[in-house]
Amino acid sequence: MPLDFRSTRLVLAITSIAISLSGITKLHAAATIATDFPAAKQAAAMAKADIVILVVGSDWCKPSIPYLDSWNHPTFPASLPDSLVLLTLDNKENPDTAALALAEKNKDCSLPTRSVPALAYLDSQGRVIATYSGTPELGPPTAANLTTLIKKAAQIRNQRDQAWARAEQVQKIKRAESLGAGLDAMNQGLGHQNAYKPILDEITKADPQDQSGYTAKYSFPGHNLAPQILETFVNEKKFKEAEAELLRWHRNPHLSSEQRQQLHAARFALYRAWPEKSAMVRSALEDMVKEAPESDLGLSAKNYLLELYPPLNLEKGWRPLHFEKGRNKWKIDATAAISGSGTYELTFQYTQGTDALQIFGARLIDRQGVLASDGHEGNTGSQSKDNIYRFEVKRRPVGTIHLSTEVDAGENDNSQGTFSLKSTSATTAP
């Protein structure tokens, strides 16, 4: 017997209530909205849909509020593909009873996000595809920008799936390379909680000799490499064996930039403990910076370089670390010491070390060229001779002023000393 109009409305209302009670709300021509993580997983599995999670802290993280407002705007879900499940994780600092109950439901939703607010994109199996943590990575808190990030993550998932589809058509090394390319597309390593470990197992099975290099890449210890090198080799004074192990990793062309930084961090730890290779400490830090200067490891390496190898300056003088073999050309900022035209005296004064400093003249240079020069040779050590240089500055300096000099500290470069650049009759040029 056919349903009348009122019966049809009743059936639709009951269906809507049932869906809502299950933690899922399906909007017309819009993404599915889930109220908790179990419901999101269930909806994603049934529809083979991806999951997008916005992580906020509504009662303590003010920067997350504009993102939450855009996320909750009625028009936002309608702008997204209907093969998505949306979930909000509100990590409240002072949760009420309802929030505590919801947090209990979401207890298994741990994400590798570094800060709040954050956006996480997961596939239908709950594996992380991409994350964006903090406002610098998220960008403007607009619905349009959130949509752009979601589409960007979806494109990454498509690249992954295309690579894995190719893997089903080939065997051995080609299969391993296609599976590895899928992992590369996401740049998530083996994923949060080793979600992609089965993919690595498939790579190893297809390419047991690891001719593709992907087994090594996705077995890379990451931040644990340095502690492993110290514990396994350095503590036993097996320095050469440690270096050989790091070189083995270094030969792998598939290591990511972050992995290479972690490799250089392990080199830094090794060379600091290996007296004969202490000179390599600096290159390990410099290589870490070159890989990704603005990353966390890159910035840490910059700070270490400044601490361990401060730049040559007038205030702190010179140390053995400021020498290379043979003659050294030094260029030192002297702007603060030159106030205008007049006469200035520069004194090189040895303080300690086995080697005296030999000086082959000195010049003051600004943007327009040479301000003044004194080309005589001098030296300073346990005894000093002609180690004072005089400059007659006859015009107003322009821009940064540099002290340019050429020096040599002998065979061992073991010399330390100070600079003194002072005015003896400075005047102000018209």
pLDDT at 18: 42
CA-to-CA distance for 113 and 209, rounded, in angstroms? Answer: 35
pTM of the model: 0.66
pLDDT at 427: 53
pLDDT at 15: 40
pLDDT at 23: 62
* Distances from the Cα of 356 to the Cα of 185, 241, 316, 408, angstroms: 57, 38, 18, 8
Q: How many CA atoms lie within 13 A of 212 on its CB side?
A: 23
Q: Please, what are the domains in the chain?
A: 21-159 (3.40.30.10), 168-217 (no CATH), 222-308 (no CATH), 320-423 (2.60.120)
Q: Cα(first)–Cα(last) distance of the chain, in Å?
A: 106
pLDDT at 1: 39
pLDDT at 426: 53
Q: Output the CA angle 398-403-405, nearest 5 degrees.
A: 145
Instruction: List average pLDDT for each run of 10 residues in the chain, which is 430 residues long.
Output: 41 40 53 95 95 97 97 91 93 95 94 96 97 96 96 97 98 97 95 95 97 93 94 95 95 90 97 93 96 94 91 92 91 94 96 96 96 97 96 95 96 93 69
Residue 148's H or E segment, with its range, is helix 143-167
